[in-house]
Amino acid sequence: MEESKNKLDIEIDSQKKSYAGIPEADFVEDVDAFMARPENESVDKVLKKLEENHMKYKFMEYNLVNKRRRLEAQIPDLERSLEMIEKLKTEKDNSHDLETQFLLSEQVYAKATIPPTGKVCLWLGANVMLEYTLDDAQEMLSKNIEAAKKNLGYVEHDLDFVRDQFTTMHVNMTRIYNWDVKRRQALKIS
The conformation of residue 23, written as its DSSP 8-state character, comes to: P
Mean pLDDT value of segment 67-91: 93
**Proportion of the chain above pLDDT 90, given as a percent:** 65
Query: Is residue 64 exposed (0-12), middle (13-18) or buried (19+ Cβ within 10 Å)?
Result: buried
> Tell me, what's the pLDDT at 15?
56
In Å, how far are 6, 19, 36 from 13, measured between CA atoms? Answer: 10, 9, 38
> Quick one: average pLDDT of 162-184?
94
Taking residues 4-23, report their average pLDDT.
Answer: 60
Q: Find the length of the chain.
A: 190
The reported pLDDT for the residue numbered 46 is: 94
35-38's contacts with Cβ under 8 Å and 24+ in sequence apart are: 35/176, 35/179
Residue 3 has pLDDT above 80, yes or no: no
DSSP single-letter state for residue 103: E
Residue type for position 93: D
